[in-house]
Amino acid sequence: MSNFLRYKGFDWFLLGMVLLIAALGVMEIYSATYRTKFAGAHEKQIYWILAGIMLMFLMTMIDYHTLMEQVPIMYLVSIVLLAMVLVVGRKVFGSRRWIPLAGGFHFQVSEFVKLVIILAVARYFSEARQSKVAVGDLVKVGLLAGVPMGLVLLQPDLGTSLTYAPIVMMGVLLAGIRLKHVALVALLAALAMPMAWHYGLKPYQKARLTTFLNPEGDPLKAGYQVLQSKIAVGHGGLWGRGTTKGTQMQLGFLPVPHTDFIFAAFAEEHGFFGVLAALLLYFMVLMRLVHNAQTAPDRAGVFIVMGVVGVLLFHVLVNVGMVIGYMPTTGIPLPLMSYGGSSVLFIFMALGLVNNVRLRRFVN
């Protein structure tokens, strides 16, 4: 593909909106870590963003059809790496999620597995011949995501494992699912919940899932983060208290506010109108992604782009719902705003996949 096609057709508008959100994130990370032991985290975030931009452009250079052909190998490598995490992974707060690398860096395999699942689901449904999803298809794609989900749950990392589900759900919805199959899946999920509750979840995970309904019942332990997050959001008012002036952060009431609860910190400092502007940016990004799906050159491209839409939408809804107390605390970061290298790199690589599809709209 010529350089003209590669860069002229690139979605610069999408990149601009993404960089605006990332800039808000860097600003808030700086503010949230101001005069704390995490000071300087915003500088590392900038490096991750720059690295992510480079990976994004690299992702556009290999035709997505070629990437899908390599899905079996990538999937096998992903499973092996997830298994390795359980053996040699770095343990932090009781979970093994990262493989240590040279130079003090750590690689979170589970984040990049999302890309593999997106490609795998796109390959499966783009090759399917039937007009509607059969029970066999549901079982196969369920296992496709279920195996890595199980390995991630063993780390344990409930939040990241849940992010694989919307990719499969989006693929199934696009492929066409019968109402009776929806009812069957819902029934099986309901029957599996008691077993998952008793045997699949750790005690602290159960506490998170139950406490969000009544955080006042345990205000100093399981309900503490949710209560402090809601206080921070309420303190913001219409216009917010200003950068580095959020009392919940600066006085240490909101724990590690630059990661999962960064939206609560942002709400306290920038108020209702700041939150509205940030959510509008996310909405514009999602709508732009849907537009790219509508102009995709083939069925595989549609599934790839909408897979990215599914996982990003899930991240935003769960994280924002979590900080206002409408979702349990699951450790799912806010895309592009929460501090974290692996999360940032995944987002930009996913956007690279989207542009990979977009750039080949007029290629025979």
Pick the range with the lowest mean pLDDT from 64-78, 108-122, 234-248, 329-343. 234-248
Is there a cis peptide before residue 148, judged by omega within 30 degrees of 0? no
Using the structure block, give the residue that is written with the tokens 């306290």: 268
pTM of the model: 0.90
Task: Tell me if 264 sits within 8 A of 254, measured CB to CB.
Answer: yes
In a domain, residue 364? The reply is no
Pick the range with the lowest mean pLDDT from 72-76, 243-247, 297-301. 243-247
Q: Determine the pLDDT at residue 88.
A: 80
Tell me the C-alpha to C-alpha distance, in Å, between residue 170 and each of 128, 130, 281: 15, 17, 22
Give the pLDDT mean for 163-178. Answer: 89
Q: Determine the pLDDT at residue 94.
A: 64
Q: Is the pLDDT of residue 315 over 50?
A: yes
Domain count, the chain: 1
Two structure tokens written together for 6? 């590669």
In a domain, residue 363? The reply is no
Q: Determine the pLDDT at residue 200.
A: 67
In a domain, residue 213? The reply is yes
> How far is 41 from 253, CA to CA, in rounded Å?
19
> How far is 181 from 154, CA to CA, in rounded Å?
29
Task: Tell me if 309 sits within 8 A of 286, measured CB to CB.
Answer: yes
> How far is 323 from 262, CA to CA, in rounded Å?
9
Helix axes 135-153, 165-175, angle to 10 degrees: 170
Q: Determine the pLDDT at residue 242.
A: 85
Q: Measuring CA to CA, which residue among 294, 290, 286, 297 is closest to residue 65?
A: 297
- What integer best gives the mean pLDDT of the chain? 86
> How far is 239 from 237, CA to CA, in rounded Å?
6
In a domain, residue 205? The reply is yes
Residue 149: pLDDT band (50, 70, 90) is very high
Q: Is the pLDDT of residue 93 over 80?
A: no
Two structure tokens written together for 352? 């690279």
Give the pLDDT mean for 261-288. Answer: 95
Q: Determine the pLDDT at residue 283.
A: 97
Task: Tell me if 49 sits within 8 A of 22, measured CB to CB.
Answer: yes
Q: Which residues pair with 95 in a beta bridge?
A: 92
Q: Determine the pLDDT at residue 217.
A: 65
What Rg, from alpha-carbon coordinates, does the chain have?
21
Domain that residue 56 falls in: 3-358
In a domain, residue 78? The reply is yes
pLDDT tens track for 202-233: 776 666 666 766 676 666 666 778 888 888 88
DSSP for 325-355, written as a single string: TSS----PPPTTTS--HHHHHHHHHHHHHHH
- Which is higher by pLDDT, 158 or 218? 158
Residue 113: pLDDT band (50, 70, 90) is very high
Q: Which residues pair with 98 in a beta bridge?
A: 90
Q: Determine the pLDDT at residue 235.
A: 84
* Phi/psi-derived region of residue 340, left when phi > 0, alpha when psi is between -120 and 50, beta in every other case: left
Two structure tokens written together for 95? 């979970």
